[in-house]
Structure 1
Amino acid sequence: MTNLSKFEPIVRSNDPIGLFGGGFVGPDDLNLVLSRVKSVVAADGGASVLTESGHIPDAVIGDFDSLDAEAKAKIPSERLFPIREQDSTDFDKALRSVQSPVILGAGFLGGRLDHQLAVLNTLIRRQHQTCILLGEDEVVFHAPPRIRLPVDPGDVVSLFSMRLVTGRSTGLEWPIDGLQFEPDGQMGTSNRALAEVELQMDGPGLLVMIPRAALDPLMQVFLSGQTGRWPVRAE
């Protein structure tokens, strides 16, 4: 077991990384993630869903307050990376400790509302990371500087800002050009695709939610390297 400082990288991969949390993992989520990644990381108690299904994570990262003894006993000590500080969530500890072109997360949406809000807050703060979170019906991610969304006409495209943010769009029923999105102001809930949708953002801070069926082409969009990335946010 290695006790790390909070900024030390742990897992690096040129391929997508799967990240599991200790929240609700749907009946298809486990296999969906494992079939699309080569490395798997657990955020603290997220190790349980993996070990219970016979899979050993490449790393377990967190403060270990929710890692049960049975799951811990199945994992080699060199794969356990406790980060003891209590100023951040286990999702934050894990997300800042991995490096990959795409991180696919399950077990972070659903369940307690405060946990979900903390996860969405982390998606925005770790703005340089490309992380797609699985929901029951949709996927959620932080909008990069530019992106073509792999959606079909009629698909719901919801936009929710966590900061003051502006941008431009094509292909949406209600374009975002000229709008200022902010948490206590303009929202983009339940917008719809009319054709191919493209977003160009002026800065970080916008969450995008599209149908879960778009996961595979969305991953390919990010893996193409054409979306750009936001810089690492200063701590």
Structure 2
Amino acid sequence: MARRYDSRTTMFSPEGRLYQVEYAMEAISHSSSAIGILATDGILLAAKKKRVARLVDRSKGADKMYELDEHIACAAAGITSDTNILVDYLRDVCQQHRFTYGEEIPVEMLVQRICDMKQSYTQYGGLRPYGVSFLYAGWDRYFGYQLYMCDPSGNYGGWKATAIGANYQAAESIMKTEYKDDITLEEAKKLAVKIFSKSVESSSMVPSKLEFGIFKLDNQNKPSFKVMKDREVSVLLKECGIEQVEDRD
């Protein structure tokens, strides 16, 4: 009788694969997509929501983006319940570091902390990997603007532009040809709209199903994160020549 190599998180297959980790990544590939673009004057996080109920009060905040501290924000793709647990953990880490050392935690250090936690869930029995990937946008006095991506295995890396979630390969293909090192935030917004317009159905190109988060330094040279309002997204879509259909969900 063949052994089920996916019955334990810690069990390797004969090919050296951990199927539970691959299943977590597969769950993310079926969730709504998110992209991150590093610009010269800030970082753009953009996300698409698959389903938006008409009775949901969207003024209460974004669904796919989270502010972790004054200098770090993130966009998520995957299981929402897992996302909430990890976001709470990340916020605790930020405040613990601030309380202990009297300064903001460096961006990469925070990413390493969450990746250590994710990786630990792949090496002990009785646990399952977290089914969520994150894009981190941050700024610190050591390296300036930084964009990171991490997956359920605990692997992470710094990026100029990347995507997670559904159709991430198509999004990355467009980025490879359209991205340039001197791109600005305004150009990054239009690139994000182009990516979404080519990778999703036209009925999804409405403000209520798109989120754009802008991370940049304000007039006082302090990092700030702002999620664009629906009316601002509508203006952006018009500037890009996107015909907006009526949202009937």
Q: Tell me the TM-score normalised to structure 2 length.
A: 0.27
- Mark the structure with the bigger radius of gyration: 2
Q: Tell me the TM-score normalised to structure 1 length.
A: 0.28
Give the number of the structure whose residues are more often helix, by fraction. Answer: 2
Higher relative contact order (CA 8 A, sep 6+): 2
Give the number of the structure whose residues are more often strand, by fraction. Answer: 1
